[in-house]
Amino acid sequence: MKNYLPILILSALFLACAKDEAITPTPASSDFKAYSSAFTNGGSFPVKYTCDGASTSPLIQWSGAPAGTVSYAITMHHFPSASAEKHVYMCVYNIASSAKEIGENVTNIGNWGINTVNGKNAYSPPCSQGPGAKAYIITVYALSSAPVISTAPSATTMDVVVAAMSGKLLAKSEITVNYTRL
């Protein structure tokens, strides 16, 4: 019996590990994609979504959400220069898992964090100064649970929302668009 004891212990450990692997899902590659039928990734941002146009919030769509998605969040920002702080134009969280887009000028979806342009819980159109094209990053996040935000709506920044998503992120997809002021 002494000779079999190490084998029994190793067998029990192997079975316990195998059981844990079966109940702990391994991250799979995701087909999660953010896109818009109004513009393309790497393309130009339409004037109507900027301060030079109608200041309309953009149509943002997504597909291929990973299993277990309970909530979505969307942010839009850019860095005006390497040394400057990011400018946030949109921050929306607690978007229902049944949603597959946020339409143009839609404000009744999820909860809105503040933008850094005017500090309002709304979309603020890009109005970047200086010559040349500026790159804007739109990110859609698929989450395993809704982020819990304890700050007042008037203090809910992109950084607060991203921190509240810690440990909940299943997938994210980015769209980068460029705009040159008129």
The two three-digit tokens of residue 2, written as one number: 């002494």
Domain assignment present for residue 81? The answer is yes
> Exposed, middle or buried: residue 88 (CB in 10 Å: 0-12, 13-18, 19+)?
buried
In a domain, 12, yes or no: no
In a domain, 13, yes or no: no
Q: Is residue 59 part of a domain?
A: yes
- pLDDT one-digit tens code per residue, 61-96: 999 999 999 999 999 999 877 667 899 999 999 999
Q: Are strands 169-179 and 33-35 parallel, antiparallel or unpaired?
A: unpaired
* Eight-state DSSP code of residue 44: B
CATH code assigned at 44: 3.90.280.10
| Range of 25-34, 72-81, 159-168 with top mean pLDDT | 159-168
Range of the domain at 162: 28-179
CA dihedral over 44, 47, 52, 56, signed as positive or negative: negative
Total tally of structural domains belonging to the chain? 1
For residue 174, the cross-strand partners are 139
Give CA–CA dist 106/59, Å, rounded.
Answer: 9
Give tens-digit pLDDT for 99-124. Answer: 999 999 999 999 999 999 999 999 99
